[in-house]
Copies of this chain bind each other. A is one copy, B any other.
Amino acid sequence: MELRRLQYFIVLAEELHFRRAAARLAISQPPLSIAIKQLEEEIGAPLFERSTKLVSLTPVGAAFYPEALRIVAQLDRARSIAQRVASGERGVLRLGFVGGMLLRRMPEFLALHRRAHPEASVILRELSSGEQIRSIRSGELAAGFLHMGGPVEELDHLLMADEDFVACLPSSHPLAGAEIVKVKVLRDERFVMFSREISPGYFDTVISICAREGFSPTISFEVGHWLTAILLVAKGLGVALVPRCFANTGLRGVSFVELKAARTHSLAHFAWKRTSSDPLLLRFVDLVRTTLSSRVNKHLSD
């Protein structure tokens, strides 16, 4: 069953006149006669009753007409959906993120994206950086907010944040009110760390900060989520070294104190597959890039 024949049928069913229908279709009359005949053969029954002076729909033709209309409508719908996905108006954007990104500019990017593409949806998955890299390369994720140790094959990335570390102390801690402390004064504290499995980069960075100051931290807890870590500190169960952005959590019971000469930074990245052609992703990358370069630092709360 060819689509052209359906179009011919629809027009003829509306005109009930071969020559007029042919004119509307911008073809000559004979091919129309032939096409209708072929359609009737395929269905196995006449669709029109012809006399030299009158063309009318048979009951079969009358039943077929609305169905033919639906086919054409469905076809337009399919084309339109595909084109809207292609233009980035519509579609699904799968993004990974490590929890800390919620304290950086990620929510701002999401809000801008929603405003720019109200028909599009976003699926967020909280994953470690390593898992994100795997998922992005396999195509499971379109992009991710993560920490990259160095360049990764196939991935492009943007630097979202370059932050130094601050100490995260319970408010009850004697140093909680200090302006700035040396890392060394924390040598006898017990440390709450992100699990090395989840975030090896963070783990190693903290270890190296301490090592530079001449001690190896005593680890009381290794946790898998940043909220857990901060809460443990708030409960007085340890201290932590965290990127500065965590100072924005607003959680009670914790204080953040500048570290003297930490000299080690936390790099936050936005990364995606270089070869991807997903239009929504391309738009999102543009959005992130232009927003970052415009150096607007306001944070949208949602």
Contact = CB atoms under 8 A, between A and B. Distances in A.
Interface in A34-93: 42-47, 49, 56, 58-60, 63-64, 67-68, 70-71, 74-75, 77-79, 81-83, 85-86, 90-92
Contacts of A82: 43, 45, 47, 60, 63-64, 67
Contact of A59 (B4, B67, B68, B280): B280
Range of interface residues on A (Cβ < 8 Å): 35 or more
A70 B76 CA distance: 12
Rank and list the top 3 A-B pairs by shortest CB-CB distance, nearest first.
A45-B86, A67-B78, A64-B82
Nearest to A63: B85
B277 A83 contact: no
B56 A81 contact: no
A123 interface: no
A101 to B, nearest CB: 23
Contacts of A15: none
Contact of A2 (B2, B68, B85, B90): B2
A236 interface: no
Contacts of A42: 79
Contact of A60 (B44, B74, B85): B85
A278 interface: yes
Contact of A277 (B43, B58, B75, B85): B58
A277 B49 CA distance: 9
A178 interface: no
A121 B277 CA distance: 53
Contacts of A59: 85, 91-92, 278-280
Contacts of A78: 64, 67-68, 70-71
Which among A46, A75, A139 has the greatest number of chain B C-beta atoms within 10 A? A75
12 contacts: A2-B2, A2-B4, A3-B3, A43-B82, A43-B86, A45-B82, A60-B85, A64-B82, A67-B77, A67-B78, A67-B82, A71-B74
A149 to B, nearest CB: 27
Contacts of A185: none
Given A49-B277, A90-B63, A278-B58, A43 B74 contact: no
Nearest to A5: B3
A85 B43 CA distance: 10
A74 to B, nearest CB: 5
A122 to B, nearest CB: 13
A277 B46 contact: yes
Given A3-B3, A78-B67, A83 B278 contact: no
Contacts of A92: 59
Contacts of A68: 78
